[in-house]
Amino acid sequence: MRKVIFLDRDGTINVEKSYLHKWEDFEFEKNVIDGLKELKKMGYEFIVVTNQSGIARGYYSEDDLKALNNEMVKELKKHDIDILECYYCPHHPEKGLDQYKKNCDCRKPNPGMLLEGIKKYNVDIENSFMIGDKKTDLEAGKKAGLKSILILTGYGKNIEDDVKKEYLIGKDLLDISKIIK
């Protein structure tokens, strides 16, 4: 069985920018590369799970998202960091284009993307984690049976007080690698 870190993307891996969909606007959060390298040394592999309602809203296409994710994966690969897969939810329950406007199992806080990754990659849920900057990330991890950790990048610093009794908290991915160790 594999030990996996499930990672939210926006606000966790990259700096939060409203409806990010162009590689030229992408910027890694502080200590992402070093944190992922440390986690990799501990035997963890990585899966990205990201809500992308910008697709439902018509701000960008699934192809735009896939192109950006592919560039991110290539950049991480230059640092010897592999991403097993990038899962995304293009839906929104109330807003957007008809084919994407729906309640679904994949939009966090629902655990659909995580459960799919757990099954496909034979993930050891007892020794795996979900890391994200929103309560929906933490709840999705919990529903999937994972330990969830709030990261204080992105929106994380805004909800720290709301979740500190229930979840572990780290200031960035390097700090979280020390917590997990």
Give the catalytic positions in this structure.
8, 10
Helix (H) or strand (E) segment spanning residue 111: none
Both structure tokens of 147: 């330990």
Check if the beta carbon of residue 56 is closer than 8 Å to that of residue 71: no
Residue 148: which region, alpha, beta or left (left: phi > 0; alpha: psi -120 to 50)? Answer: beta
Which residues touch 28 (CB under 8 Å, ≥6 apart)? 13, 14, 15, 75
Taking residue 21's Cβ as centre, other Cβ atoms within 10 Å add up to: 17
Question: What CA–CA distance (Å, rounded) separates 117 from 82?
Answer: 15
Check if the beta carbon of residue 2 is closer than 8 Å to that of residue 126: no
